[in-house]
């Protein structure tokens, strides 16, 4: 074991893995620092580039990026009073008041230091837990993995959003999408509608990019928010004071890191609530509570230590059970499958070196990321001041080319835009998207596991297996616990730093009106899927039919709840939730996306994407030719150097250039 630990460290430090780790860490600092981008979006964008990499290099690239986003997101939370990512929401409550007092550097110094410590403890927790988990994993067979899939979907669906119904509907819709293509039992095409592109199923990457990345880019394009109320000179004060604060509160750092590890172990909780749990702990356990919300450094230390420790622990259920501990871990699960790795026993036995390399990647990335932020924080702060219009074209280039790498078919872009529209509707309606991705990934695994279990035990005798029974009880407990939590979260937290009252984490923030359209669409899809499945053989129809019926019932129930909320809001004379983005601006952005596809068909990507970047900067951004032309040329250089020379992509055969 000791030799394996050292050899896995050597593999991470060897070239090119260490180079990808450094690059991923730098990109992760950017994704965390710029509001609107996050580790989730970064994982979605970088995933296509791991196709041709070796496993150690691929995970060094992805985890190096992901590990540090909850370190650099403190920049926006402290300096701008807005969360850089969802994991830094609680940091605002005391970090931003510190910045207004001229103590931004102190808050950043404490945050960076405890983020590194929390990340280290989370990664070490991953490594130390492996010997304990090995005998447990080896006791699992196909029946247990089927029940684990149900548990994963239940937990993620019920804990990733403000509504249990909406989470379950999203998870079932993901399962339904996973059935597209040939049935694994009878080799019968399902939901293909005689479209050749669909015979092998929907590629995962365009789906993920559409669901998660495209709606965030839309928000940047429509909002273009980057104005800071904090003077940049405030970042030049001493950061060492924050480090001293963290050292003085070392016991709080350890407790908060332990909270992060525990939350990371629970699939579905993720980083969106771990900072609130840690913040609540520090407030409840402190004798003097008067300073919290006014600039107490402990209110920065606790959430920042917890959200970084959570990431290392979240790898445990992802790698060992195939149950993502958060939405980005669902994407990492896709990366495992792309590399030909199956979560479960092999990751703790024959592929243990890969698992240990992930641990070392998290350790190195956390230390490296914190060190870079200490050295260059004054320059990285400027990233949060970059206008959104300067970010959108570059991100769109990587979105479209990342989707194209899936199959090099124009259908990839169709899937990207289709799921981008769906992701926008789901985000606007408060419907969680992480369960959908998990359903797509777990669908084939669960279907195969059930088929093998039914065959091996001549029916449902496997239900009596002890571990299966325990997992079934956990499913029930998970749902009951989620309902209890949902009831308790109907209250609101005190006023935030801007003076407005905000909902507790997990509460439904979207307007009920915005839920009606996506729920009506999903209901129709579920019903249609169940009807089509009735004509297939029993083995091929079992899962789709059950999913369609269950999904339709839950979607109708969610519709009824939304209508009741809408009537209540109308009677109370309130709009209900956050204001939607202007429809005109959304349609404007959609036309730009469709124009990329149209010009690509005529002239190809090497003309369409730089042309889009230049015209977007010129027309929508209003920056003039001196900015638009260099930007377009930079995009052309990226296409040629990265996608043509390095990736060697198959370009679309343009109609006018044949």
pLDDT value for 131: 66
Average pLDDT over residues 91-106: 72
Q: Which tokens is 159 given?
A: 């804990």
pLDDT value for 320: 75
Average pLDDT over residues 320-335: 72
Which among 391, 353, 386 has a CA at the least distance from the CA of 42? Answer: 391
End-to-end CA distance of the chain: 58
Phi, psi of 190 (to 5 degrees): -125, 130
- Tell me the C-alpha distance between 115 and 366, whole Å: 7
Q: How confident is the model at residue 272 (pLDDT cuts 50, 70, 90)?
A: low
Q: pLDDT at residue 508 above 90?
A: no
Q: Are strands 189-190 and 181-182 parallel, antiparallel or unpaired?
A: antiparallel
Burial class (CB in 10 A: 0-12, 13-18, 19+), 620: middle
pLDDT value for 80: 56
Reduce the DSSP state of residue 43 to 3 states and report it. Answer: helix
Average pLDDT over residues 537-551: 88
| Residue 366 and residue 123 in contact, taking contact as beta carbons nearer than 8 Å | yes
Give me the residue spans of the domains in the chain: 2-386+433-491+500-509, 387-432+582-658
Burial class (CB in 10 A: 0-12, 13-18, 19+), 546: middle
Q: pLDDT at residue 413 above 90?
A: yes
Share the mean pLDDT of the chain: 77
pLDDT value for 610: 95
The residues, any chain, with a CB within 8 Å of residue 578's CB and separated by 6 or more, are 509, 510, 511
Asked, as a colleague might, if the bond just before 181 is cis with ω within 30 of 0, I would say no
Q: How confident is the model at residue 271 (pLDDT cuts 50, 70, 90)?
A: low
Average pLDDT over residues 123-146: 69
Cα 388 from chain centroid (whole Å): 21
- Give kind and range of the element (H or E) at residue 181: strand 181-182
Q: What angle do CA 483, 485, 491 make, to 5 degrees?
A: 120
Please state, as a whole number, how many other Cβ atoms lie within 10 Å of the Cβ of residue 332: 23
Q: Which tokens is 91 given?
A: 């940091």
- Tell me the C-alpha distance between 236 and 249, whole Å: 24
Phi, psi of 293 (to 5 degrees): 90, -10
By percentage, how much of the chain surpasses pLDDT 90? 13
Q: pLDDT at residue 613 above 70?
A: yes
Range of 410-419, 470-479, 557-566, 582-591 with top mean pLDDT: 410-419
Of 48-52, 142-146, 276-280, 357-361, the one with minimum mean pLDDT is 276-280
Q: How confident is the model at residue 491 (pLDDT cuts 50, 70, 90)?
A: very low
List pLDDT tens digits, range 158-169. 545 557 788 888
Average pLDDT over residues 305-309: 81
- Tell me the C-alpha distance between 252 and 298, whole Å: 8
Reduce the DSSP state of residue 190 to 3 states and report it. Answer: strand
pLDDT value for 162: 56
pLDDT value for 606: 92
pLDDT value for 228: 39
Instruction: Identify the residue with better confidence: 30 or 132.
Output: 30
- Tell me the C-alpha distance between 331 and 441, whole Å: 9
Calculate helix-pair angle for 271-285, 250-265, nearest 10 degrees. 140
List pLDDT tens digits, range 58-84. 888 888 888 887 777 777 677 655 555
């Amino acid at each position: 074991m000791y030799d394996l630990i050292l050899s896995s460290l050597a593999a991470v430090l060897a070239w090119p893995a260490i180079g990808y780790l450094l690059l991923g860490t730098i990109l992760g600092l950017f994704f965390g620092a710029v509001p609107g981008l996050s580790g989730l979006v970064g994982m979605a964008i970088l995933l296509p580039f791991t196709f041709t990499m070796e496993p150690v290099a691929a995970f060094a690239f992805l985890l190096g990026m992901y590990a540090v986003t909850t370190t650099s997101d403190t920049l926006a939370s402290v300096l701008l009073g807005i969360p850089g990512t969802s994991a830094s929401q609680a940091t605002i409550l005391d970090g931003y008041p510190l910045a207004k007092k001229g103590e931004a550097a102190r808050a950043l110094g404490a945050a960076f230091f405890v983020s590194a410590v929390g990340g280290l403890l989370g990664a070490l927790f991953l490594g130390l837990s492996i010997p304990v988990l090995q005998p447990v994993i080896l006791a699992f067979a196909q029946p247990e993995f089927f029940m684990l899939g149900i548990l994963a979907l239940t937990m993620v669906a019920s804990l990733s959003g403000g509504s249990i119904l909406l989470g379950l509907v999203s998870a079932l819709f993901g399962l339904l999408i996973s059935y597209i293509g040939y049935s694994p039992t009878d080799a019968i095409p399902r939901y293909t509608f005689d479209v050749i592109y669909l015979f092998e199923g929907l590629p995962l990457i365009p789906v993920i990019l559409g669901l998660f990345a495209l709606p965030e880019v839309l928000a940047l394009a429509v909002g273009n928010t980057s104005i800071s109320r904090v003077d940049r000179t405030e970042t030049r004060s001493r950061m060492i004071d924050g480090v001293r604060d963290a050292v003085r509160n070392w016991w709080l750092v350890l407790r908060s890191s332990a909270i992060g590890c525990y939350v990371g172990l629970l699939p579905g909780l993720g980083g969106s609530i771990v900072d609130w749990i840690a913040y609540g702990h520090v407030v409840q356990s402190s004798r003097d509570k008067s300073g919290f919300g006014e600039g107490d450094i402990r209110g920065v230390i606790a959430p920042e230590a917890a959200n970084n420790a959570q990431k290392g622990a979240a790898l445990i259920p992802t790698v060992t059970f195939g149950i993502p501990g958060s939405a980005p871990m669902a994407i990492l699960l896709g990366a495992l499958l792309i590399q030909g790795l199956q979560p479960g026993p092999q990751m703790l036995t024959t592929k243990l070196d890969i698992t240990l390399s992930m641990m070392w990647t998290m350790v190195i990335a956390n230390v490296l990321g914190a060190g870079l932020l200490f050295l260059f924080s004054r320059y990285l702060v400027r990233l949060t001041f970059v206008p959104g219009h300067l970010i959108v074209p570059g991100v769109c280039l990587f979105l479209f080319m990342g989707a194209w790498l899936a199959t090099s078919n124009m259908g990839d872009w169709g899937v990207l835009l289709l799921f981008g529209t769906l992701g926008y509707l789901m985000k606007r309606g408060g419907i969680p998207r992480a369960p959908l991705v998990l359903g797509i990934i777990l669908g084939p695994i669960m279907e195969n596991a059930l088929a093998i279990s039914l065959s091996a035990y001549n029916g449902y005798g496997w239900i009596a297996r002890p571990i299966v029974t325990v997992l079934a009880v956990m499913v029930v407990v998970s749902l009951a616990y989620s309902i209890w939590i949902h009831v308790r979260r109907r209250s609101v937290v005190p006023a935030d730093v801007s003076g407005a009252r905000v909902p507790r984490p997990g509460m439904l923030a979207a307007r009920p009106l915005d839920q009606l359209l996506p729920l009506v669409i999903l209901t129709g899809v579920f019903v249609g899927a169940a009807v089509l499945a009735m004509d297939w053989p029993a083995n091929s129809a079992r899962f789709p039919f059950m999913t369609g019926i269950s999904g339709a019932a839950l979607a109708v129930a969610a519709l009824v709840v939304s209508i009741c909320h809408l009537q209540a809001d109308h009677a109370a004379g309130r709009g209900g939730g956050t204001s939607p983005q202007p429809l005109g601006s959304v349609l404007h952005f959609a036309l730009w996306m469709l124009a990329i596809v149209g010009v690509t068909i005529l002239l190809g990507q090497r003309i369409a994407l730089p042309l889009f970047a230049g015209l977007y900067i010129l027309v929508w951004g209003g920056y003039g030719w001196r900015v638009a032309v260099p930007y377009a040329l930079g995009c052309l250089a990226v296409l040629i150097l990265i996608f043509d020379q390095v990736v060697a992509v198959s370009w679309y055969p343009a109609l006018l250039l044949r």
